[in-house]
Amino acid sequence: MATLKELAGQEELFSGGHRLCAGCGIPPIVRLVLRSAKGPVVATTATGCLEVGSTIYPYTSWKVPWMHSAFENAAATISGIESAYKALKRKGRLPVKPVSDDKDTKFIAFGGDGGTYDIGLQALSGAMERGHNFLYVCYDNGAYMNTGIQRSSATPLGSATTTSPAGSVIPGKEEYRKDITRIMVAHRSPYVAQASPHNWKDLEKKAARALEINGPTFLNVMSPCPLGWYSKPEDSIALAKLSTDTCFWPLYEVDEGVLKISYKPKEKKPIGDWLKLQGRFKHLFKPGGEEIIEKIQLDIDTNWERLLDMDGKLIF
């Protein structure tokens, strides 16, 4: 694995000058993942902040071949790209010959939580089941940010969004998040993991592992969003870390069916520590909010216990 110094010396495959917000979690995720391929890479992106922010014609941040076609189909699009690669390789008609027979171009699809948990779930499930050779990276910022912070099925319970506002009767989103990482595990993907950009070493290791596998792999990455979380841009990385210290966002991997927790906080922090730094949970700190915070805490605790139980075990 690269040291920070080595990383800093590597060529940047996703350049600056893009229009993503200050403090956005997406660029560091994309930069790290692209480098982890250590070789030729082709990427696609679902409609969302990453796509809109990185390629305003005639500019592009992408120094690797990249395409966007629509919102719900990043996994289907990468299926087609990867299939063309296989066919052209077989026919000896690839535009660039592979370095060696076993060193194939890597294929990566990026999508936000909306493009992954919701509208893109079908295409993702199909591509996973068909077993294409690709890595799907979900940057989970917990809402449809590009269109102005509407709820998604990744939005945490209690969060206020523009379609689940905290009103006088309904206190923000009333439903639990969908656990897409488990859904991906249920596809018997050879490698599924959760990561966070504050722990760049872990993220890089997981991306590299996912990309060395020949098959459909999945990374779910925590992606702070100052705009949608009503948080300070300079707090983003600290918020990412807190999401793992509170075990709201456990770091773990399921490698060939074996679950391994990658980070166990010495002292698990109360979820309030994370919530209070974000305006989207502001209403939970008013009278009546404690119950909801308790509910969130209970859910986190249950999930964390469940993971600890499975740690080191073959789960499929």
Partner 1 sequence: MADNTASKTKNSALTGNSAMALAMKQIDPDVCAVYPITPSTTVIEEFSSYVADGAVETEFVTVESEHSAMSACIGASAAGGRAMTATSSQGLALMWEMLYIASGMRLPIIMTTVNRALAAPINIHCDHSDSMGARDSGWIQLYSETVQEAYDNLFQAVKIAEDERVLLPVMVCLDGFITSHAIEVLSLITDDEAKDFVGDYTAKHPLLDTDNPASMGALALPDTYMDFKHVQSDAIAASKEVVIEVGKEFGKRFGREYGLIDTYQLEDADVAIVILNSAAGTTRVAIDELRAKGLKVGLLKPRLFRPFPHAEMVEALKGVKAVCVLDRADSFSGFGGPLFNEVRSALYDMEDRPKIMGRIYGLGGKDYTTENAVAIYEALFDVVKTGKIDTLNDYMGS
Ligand X SMILES: Cc1ncc(C[n+]2csc(CCOP(=O)(O)OP(=O)(O)O)c2C)c(N)n1
Binding site for partner 1 (CB under 8 A): 40-42, 44, 51-52, 55-58, 60, 62-70, 72-73, 75-88, 90-91, 93-96, 105, 122-123, 125-127, 129-130
Residues 6+ apart with CB under 8 A from 93: none
How large is the C-alpha radius of gyration of the chain?
A: 19
Q: Which is nearer to ligand X, 147 or 303 (CB)?
A: 147
Would you count residue 300 as binding ligand X (CB under 6 A)? Answer: no
Could you tell me the CA-to-CA distances from 178 to 77, 153, 181, 183, 187 in Å, in that order?
24, 6, 9, 9, 15
Would you count residue 112 as binding ligand X (CB under 6 A)? Answer: yes
Would you count residue 236 as binding ligand X (CB under 6 A)? Answer: no
From partner 1, ligand X, none, which one binds at residue 142 (CB under 5 to 8 Å depending on kind)?
none
Of 249-278, binders to ligand X (CB under 6 A) are: none
User: In the set 147, 163, 297, 303, which binds ligand X (CB under 6 A)?
Assistant: 147
Collapsed DSSP state (helix, strand, coil) of residue 195: strand
Whether the link from the prior residue into 27 is cis, omega within 30° of 0, is no
Q: How many chain residues are in contact with ligand X, going by CB under 6 A? A: 18
From partner 1, ligand X, none, which one binds at residue 164 (CB under 5 to 8 Å depending on kind)?
none
Minimum Å distance from CB 226 to ligand X?
A: 12
C-alpha torsion sign, points 26, 31, 32, 38: positive
Q: Which is nearer to partner 1, 125 or 153 (CB)?
A: 125
Return the DSSP state at 270: P
| Cα–Cα dist 59/206, whole Å | 30
Q: Are 137 and 35 in contact (CB under 8 A)?
A: no
Cα-flanking dihedrals φ and ψ of residue 314, to 5°? Answer: -80, 120
Closest-CA residue to 174 (of 162, 161, 164, 184): 164
Question: Among 45-53, 161-169, 212-220, 305-313, which window interacts with ligand X (CB under 6 A)?
Answer: 45-53
From ligand X, partner 1, none, which one binds at residue 97 (CB under 5 to 8 Å depending on kind)?
none
Would you count residue 146 as binding ligand X (CB under 6 A)? Answer: yes
Q: Which is nearer to partner 1, 60 or 150 (CB)?
A: 60
Question: Among 46-54, 124-132, 172-180, 184-192, which window interacts with ligand X (CB under 6 A)?
Answer: 46-54
Would you count residue 152 as binding ligand X (CB under 6 A)? Answer: yes
Distance from CA of residue 254 to its chain's centroid? 15
From partner 1, ligand X, none, which one binds at residue 231 (CB under 5 to 8 Å depending on kind)?
none
Give the strand pairing for 66-67 and 134-140.
unpaired
Q: Are 171 and 283 in contact (CB under 8 A)?
A: yes
Q: Which is nearer to partner 1, 73 or 244 (CB)?
A: 73
Q: Hey, how many other C-beta atoms are within 10 angstroms of the C-beta on 231?
A: 20
Question: Among 58-66, 73-81, 145-153, 194-202, which window interacts with ligand X (CB under 6 A)?
Answer: 145-153
Chain contacts with ligand X (rule: CB under 6 A) = 46-50, 71-72, 111-115, 141, 144-147, 152
